[in-house]
A and B are shown apart, each in its own frame.
Chain A
Amino acid sequence: DTEVTQTPKHLVMGMTNKKSLKCEQHMGHRAMYWYKQKAKKPPELMFVYSYEKLSINESVPSRFSPECPNSSLLNLHLHALQPEDSALYLCASGLDLAGGSYEQYFGPGTRLTVT
């Protein structure tokens, strides 16, 4: 099973709302990632979690707050977003970083629109 699930599929939120994106995998992967993808652009890394600890934050604004409550779940909490934050948010997982296998498996993404 190489499935990464993400909910919701689509989300429309106002600039004053608070919402959360959820990601789940049951492949035993210990590295999990959030990427942001704008239209006709490649995915750009936002955060990396390794063994439930944040190991990379790519200078992401504090209105995005990641959380890894356990080894299977990854959340992205959203607050006071701007219209330019509208994008496809992709979650990915992979074997632990020292595992020697570097494939990352992506979920289907959440299409976020900020109004």
Chain B
Amino acid sequence: DQQVKQNSPSLSVQEGRISILNCDYTNSMFDYFLWYKKYPAEGPTFLISISSIKDKNEDGRFTVFLNKSAKHLSLHIVPSQPGDSAVYFCAAGVSWNGGSQGNLIFGKGTKLSVKP
């Protein structure tokens, strides 16, 4: 049973527009969430994170929104650039205080294509 779901395997966006990547989770124990970007043949690159005490975190062009009641988070990229084209993974975990040992559960990823 998937605890972290990314239901859109792919997304195509025009350069300069907004990209919105979505992620849903089922485990209410998750209290921190991360987004990673992955190019082929490379390891995932950390982008941005959010803890469950917040509903928004912003870093430059990247903003993550968390809706705990809906168990949903999203990553907004504004403006989108061709270099943003990659696979984006959503990941979730339970903090150490919640009894975690630090493992992350990943979604299946969404392939973003930004067209010039």
- Chain A residues with CB under 8 Å of chain B are 2, 4, 6, 31, 33, 40-45, 48, 50, 55-56, 58, 90, 92, 94, 97-98, 100, 102-109, 111
Contact = CB atoms under 8 A, between A and B. Distances in A.
B101 A50 contact: yes
B100 A45 contact: no
Contacts of A31: 102
B34 interface: yes
Interface of B: 32, 34, 36, 41-46, 49, 51, 89, 93, 95-97, 100-104, 106-109
A65 B51 CA distance: 33
A94 B45 contact: no
Contacts of B44: 43, 90, 106
Contacts of B36: 106
B50 to A, nearest CB: 10
A103 B49 contact: yes
Given A108-B41, A109-B41, 19 more contacts: A6-B43, A31-B102, A40-B108, A41-B108, A42-B89, A43-B104, A43-B106, A44-B106, A56-B102, A94-B102, A97-B100, A102-B49, A102-B102, A104-B46, A104-B104, A106-B36, A106-B43, A107-B43, A108-B43
